[in-house]
């Protein structure tokens, strides 16, 4: 352990001692005080969703960009703001934390929040690479905190429908799942490319804290704002959108980790300097089954969907709406198609409900975060290496493999 890591670990230990929470169950009338780490678009949406729930109070927000801190103050009166999330985590009056930082920082504040004794809502994808995924799972298992991963569609009624039908054996033997997401933008403007504000400069951004040790000393406003386009900060659309659908599919079918992954594609739509592909196909191999996911940023006609293909029928979900079941006449004669009726629950409300009851059985607990992160990182590793990657190969890959 080098000196820097020793100091960091010592600091985490101090956080854990300083902020150990009460483990008692809360009444419905007890207020939960939350903090937000990462006040970008996703973080502010999470905060808005949280504040719609009863007896929730936001007391602090941390972000490396002063503009976002100011926007948070304008939205929630009376909050304290910090550029360094560790200062927020030191506060003893915060019960729970929403972690909506850029993806390369998820694991850092995931572990820090648990060590500080905070219940945690962590945005997807849970981590930036497989070593971090293993680290976060280990930290979660050693913790008594309530964790919800931000793959909110596992709380949908459509997933409840699919689980119910699968439990009853309606689809029969499933050997393949098709899934996809299709988006489009005006020609000349790539997906995710956001305008850079005039004040996005070293005076208003804690660039060193954002980099978290990455060797890029010169400030780069484009990388700061559009971090999703670059491997050193992001996993591209695999970790932005495939993760949601993989969580839905694996939860419906009770799948564990894929045994291998293949991913092909490239930057075909807009040559705008991005590194992550905008058009690609992923095949995840599971025992006796494959899950195929494809994505394009140059056509939005088919939207988003999943089809679970079984010998006795198909379960289809479009745009995370209600699921439908279509029987296969060869094995299911005389059975009519049916529509799902489950309503689902609010993902954020489910987290708060579990905080109050001190139940770790959230709709998206650590194992969902772990399985979906591993699957996504396997796919990206296969793409980077231009070869089929097995689970064993992926688990043995060093952290630098995702840079």
Summarised one tens digit per residue, pLDDT across range 365-398 is 999 999 999 999 999 999 999 999 999 999 999 9
At 17 the pLDDT is: 38
* 107 lies in the same domain as 131: yes
Q: Would you state the structure tokens that stand for residue 227, as one six-digit string?
A: 């971090």
Q: Would you state the structure tokens that stand for residue 73, as one six-digit string?
A: 């103050």
| Confidence label for 226 from pLDDT (cuts 50, 70 and 90) | very high
Give the mean pLDDT of the chain.
93
* 282 lies in the same domain as 357: no
Which region among 49-53, 304-308, 331-335 has the lowest average model confidence (pLDDT)?
331-335
User: Which residues make beta-bridge pairs with 34?
Assistant: 58, 96
Summarised one tens digit per residue, pLDDT across range 18-33 is 444 445 677 766 899 9
* 45 lies in the same domain as 102: yes
Burial 11-41 (b: 16+ CB within 10 A, else e): ebeebeeebebeeeebeeeeebebbbbbbbe
* 181 lies in the same domain as 314: yes
Residue 214 lies in a domain: no
Q: Which domain holds residue 322?
A: 157-195+223-342+374-402
* 121 lies in the same domain as 262: no
What pTM was estimated for this model as a whole?
0.92
Which region among 142-146, 330-334, 349-353 has the lowest average model confidence (pLDDT)?
330-334
**Rounded CA separation 322/341 (Å):** 7
Residue 281 lies in a domain: yes
């Amino acid at each position: 352990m080098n000196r820097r890591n020793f100091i960091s670990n010592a600091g985490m230990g101090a956080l854990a001692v300083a902020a150990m929470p009460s483990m008692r169950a809360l009444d419905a009338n007890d207020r939960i005080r939350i903090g937000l780490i990462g006040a970008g678009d996703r973080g502010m949406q999470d905060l808005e969703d949280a504040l719609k729930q009863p007896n929730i109070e936001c007391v602090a927000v941390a972000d490396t960009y002063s503009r976002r801190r100011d926007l948070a103050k304008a939205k929630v009166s009376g909050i304290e703001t910090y550029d360094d999330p560790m200062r927020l985590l030191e506060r003893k009056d915060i019960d729970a934390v929403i972690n909506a930082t850029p993806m390369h920082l998820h694991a850092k504040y995931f572990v820090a929040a648990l060590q500080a004794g905070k219940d945690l809502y962590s945005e997807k994808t849970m981590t930036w690479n497989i070593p971090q995924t293993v680290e976060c799972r280990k930290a979660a298992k050693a913790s008594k905190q309530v964790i919800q991963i931000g793959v909110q569609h596992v709380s949908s009624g459509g997933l409840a429908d699919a689980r119910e039908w699968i439990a009853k054996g309606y689809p029969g033997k499933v050997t393949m799942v098709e899934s996809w997401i299709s988006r489009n933008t005006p020609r000349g403007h790539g997906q995710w490319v956001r305008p850079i504000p005039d004040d996005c400069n070293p005076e208003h951004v804690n660039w060193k804290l954002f980099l978290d040790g990455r060797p890029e000393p010169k400030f780069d406003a484009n990388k700061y704002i559009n971090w999703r386009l670059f491997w050193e900060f992001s996993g591209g659309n695999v970790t932005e959108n495939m993760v949601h659908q993989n969580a839905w599919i694996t939860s419906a079918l009770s799948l564990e980790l894929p045994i291998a992954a293949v991913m092909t594609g490239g930057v075909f739509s807009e040559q705008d300097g991005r590194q992550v592909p905008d058009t690609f196909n992923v095949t995840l191999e599971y025992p006796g089954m494959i899950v195929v996911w494809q994505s394009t940023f140059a056509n939005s006609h088919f939207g988003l969907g999943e089809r679970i293909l079984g010998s006795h029928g198909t379960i289809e979900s479009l745009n995370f709406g209600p699921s439908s079941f279509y029987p296969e006449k060869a094995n299911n004669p005389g059975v009519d198609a049916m529509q799902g009726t489950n309503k689902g629950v609010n993902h954020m409300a489910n987290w708060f409900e579990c905080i109050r009851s001190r139940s770790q059985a959230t709709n998206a607990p650590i194992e969902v975060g772990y399985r979906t992160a591993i699957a996504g990182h396997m796919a990206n590793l296969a793409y980077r290496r231009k070869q089929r990657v097995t689970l064993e190969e992926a688990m043995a890959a060093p952290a630098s493999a995702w840079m």
